[in-house]
Amino acid sequence: MKLGNLKNFDSTLAIIIGEEEFTVVGITDSFQLAHHHFVFIKNKNFLNDWLEKNKTPKSTGVIFEKKFFDLMNEEIKSQVQDFAYFTAIVDDVNLAMSYLSKPFFEEKIKNVNDMVDGRQMGSAIVDSSAWIAQGVFIGESVSIHADVKIHPGVVIMSGVEVGIGSEIYPNTVIYRNVKIGKNVRIHANCSIGSDGFGYNFKNGEHLKVWHMGSAIIGDKVEIGANTSIDGGTFSPTIIGAGSKIDNLVQIGHNCRLGIGVVICGQAGLAGSCIVGDYTVMGGRAAIAPGVTIGKAVQIAGNAGVVSNVGDGEIVGGFPAREIKEWRKEVALIRKLSSANTVK
């Protein structure tokens, strides 16, 4: 798509530096920068993240929210110019994500066929040692490696890769382009790589942010029944190797779990959470959007984590705080309540 054509989808877009004929391949973010893609920058945090991770000058374009761009000093603007493939502004970055993601999503899937089994089309590659049950759908360009077992009713959409020795139990759905590592076990009725819950409100309508980031599941991960792992918006949701996820868990888009993470039943992670290696979440614990959890953290059941947690901390309650502090507060409330009870 030509840079100038983006104006057809968001009329507020104005090109500051760059030619309308520049080719734009897609949308990305600072986690996975890609050549001739662009990133959205709404505030200083996003800008600093992009400047820190962008190692290839003139590779990615940037679209700023106008009011933030207007506040930037000339030194920062010059630094952006040195590294950006193009620079543009929009009135509202959130709305621009909804408006501009749709054409790139449609471009990405326009030639994809998930209605005819890839084995019939000759595009799916299934190792001869794999066990594929009756009633399994395997999409276009799927790759299934040695000793994989796929149970009845599983749907594997286009572009998926399933690593050696992995097993997928009945009625699970694996969305497009998900990468599953070696010796992974995914139990019944899971959904891996579905769209995240991303909308922006305008004129009485919730405008969808179109997701194309998919998900990566590391080696030796086990995922319990009825768990849902959303695909990333523009880069993948990641489940680190050796992680163990219980039944009925929700993991939102753009989350990144380290290695050996344990998440107990009915826990939920909102979008863009980062969870460090070997952290344990108790049952029904919840993490708010964009929160970073350190390594080897313990989160008590029913805790509500709304701010970052450092390495090795043990937290509980809502809002989650150091576990001893929370227990003292609970004991004090119980004591005061008992003392004030009318007999």
The string of pLDDT tens digits covering residues 200-230 is 999 999 999 999 999 999 999 999 999 999 9
pLDDT reading at 27 higher than 90: yes
Q: pLDDT, tens digit, for every residue of 87-122?
A: 999 999 999 999 999 999 999 999 999 999 999 999
User: Would you say how long the chain is, in residues?
Assistant: 343
Q: What is the mean pLDDT of residues 57-65?
A: 94
Cα 239 from chain centroid (whole Å): 10
Partners of 280 in the β-ladder: 262, 298
Whole-angstrom distance, CA of residue 250 vs CA of residue 153 = 22
Overall average pLDDT of the 274-295 stretch: 98
Which residues, 6+ apart, have CB-to-CB distance to 181 below 8 Å?
163, 166, 216, 217, 218, 219, 220, 221, 241
Residue with the two structure tokens 């000793």: 147
Ramachandran assignment for 303, one of left (phi > 0), alpha (psi -120 to 50 degrees), beta (any other): beta
For the chain, the structural domain boundaries read 3-109, 172-327
Instruction: Give the CATH superfamily of 3-109.
Output: MurE/MurF, N-terminal domain (3.40.1390.10)
Which among 308, 343, 300, 341 has a CA at the least distance from the CA of 324? 300
HEC string of the chain equals CEHHHHHHCCCCCEEEECCCCCECCEECCHHHCCCCEEEEECCHHHHHHHHHHCCCCCCCEEEEEHHHHHHCCHHHHHHHHHHCCCEEEECCHHHHHHHHHHHHHHHHHCCCCCCCCHHHHCCCEECCCCEECCCCEECCCCEECCCCEECCCCEECCCCEECCCCEECCCCEECCCCEECCCCEECCCCEEEECCCCEEEECCEEEECCCCCEEEECCCCEECCCCEEECECCCCEEECCCCEECCCCEECCCCEECCCCEECCCCEECCCCEECCCCEECCCCEECCCCEECCCCEECCCCEECCCECCCCEEECCCCEEHHHHHHHHHHHHHHHHHCCCC
In this prediction, residue 307 has a pLDDT band, given cuts at 50, 70 and 90, of very high
| Digit-coded pLDDT (tens) for 237-271 | 999 999 999 999 999 999 999 999 999 999 999 99
Given 145, 151, 211, 253, which residue is catalytic? 253
Task: Work out the mean pLDDT of the chain and round it to a whole number.
Answer: 96
Q: Which CATH number fits domain 172-327: 3.40.980.10, 3.40.50.300, 3.10.20.600, 2.160.10.10?
A: 2.160.10.10
Q: Does the annotation mark 253 as catalytic?
A: yes
**Neighbour tally for 74: CB within 10 Å:** 7
Residue 342 has pLDDT above 80, yes or no: no
Residue 340, pLDDT score = 72
Out of 77-86, 128-137, 286-295, which region has the weakest mean confidence (pLDDT)? 77-86
Distances (CA, A) of 82 to 59, 75, 138: 10, 11, 45
Instruction: For tokens 């009756």, name the residue.
Output: 134
44-53 vs 74-83: helix crossing angle, rounded to 10: 40
Tell me the pLDDT tens digit for each residue of 189-203. Answer: 999 999 999 999 999
CA 159 to CA 225: how far, in whole Å? 23
